[in-house]
Structure 1
Amino acid sequence: MLEEEYQPRRQLPRALRPKPVPEAPFSYTIRPASAEDLPAIRDIYNHYVANSTVTFDEKAMTIRDWRAKYARLEQLGMPILVAESPSGQLLGYTMVYPWQSKAAYRYTVEDSIYLGPASTGKGLGKALLGALIEACIDAGIREIIAVIADKGADASIRLHASYGFKEAGRMGRVGFKFDRWLGTVMMQKSLKKRRRPKA
């Protein structure tokens, strides 16, 4: 080895060192999704299809799939929201869709929240779920069901519990993905109708 490799590095005096540039704060806007958001929504969702058990889907969804889903939610008046960075990048999305197809279930929905991998752990999931709950109240929805994988989704269980979702049941070994059996935790939140101010 060369002798200079052993010599300590010289440093500028503290007063002359450049100040570290502070990291920009994590900021976003939550808004209703539009059809133009569907490619980014697809990409976020398909990341989880390929890499995790938080969704039991095993096959990537196409833009055609998402267009059909989006059109159905619009027709039903059910909310689908996105979080967008100041630069226009989609950071995550949340939505509800009918819990079951029978007419009597029309006031009950299942929720879904997915964040881009770089947006996790920053409080965005909590903000999206809060906005979704408000949008559901405005849409006249009365019950929200969360169906959460029983392995690898502890953060989702904690997130829903923080908004008052209560565990409503568990099902074991109902899904098989990545060569292992998975169960689900079902959580439920009842919504109250918004009171209109008296005239």
Structure 2
Amino acid sequence: MDVIDTVRAGVLGHFGVQTADAASVSFLGLEPIDILRIPDADLVHYVTLGGSRHPMTDPSAALADPVRGPRAELALTLLGNVGAGSGLTRALAVLVASPSVEGIVLQPDALLDFGEPLWGGAIFTAVLLGEGEIPDVPLPEPADPVRFLTATPITATEAAWVRIRGAAALRDAWAEAKIDVRDPDRGSASL
């Protein structure tokens, strides 16, 4: 069983489903990235598969270890479905591919700015990463386990707030205003 098959089994097991719809996105020079779409009552979970094929490497490292190092996938949960062809799957694939393309390491509280709407008609142009609800998926030693990070869509104003005040301050503002960050039609937090 390869890394992606192991990760897929972990995701499906977490949500208690046998299969999920998947969209595949390819980039020149990279292996395809799949985005699983898992309906769950009023929610839809979008989970990447492909970012964890290889460990993330600090760009300042002299050599990249092909086995050891952090591995991550992204999970985004929304109330309702933003629709096929919206561009969301491509945006998630771009974000999870950023370690391979830009040499960054995905971790909680990281701000990933997409620079344009995450999907057609969205006011969100970035995501804030957080601790995921999907349990880590262990891989055979000596490889690190695959970690799932939540990708919360945020507006340009909220991204600026994170840059100035930090991720915790934005999360506090959401909690104070009782904002459901899974709502694709929500407005920006009043900051």
Q: What is the TM-score of this pair, normalised by structure 2? A: 0.28
Question: Normalized per residue, which structure has more helix?
Answer: 1
Larger-Rg structure: 1
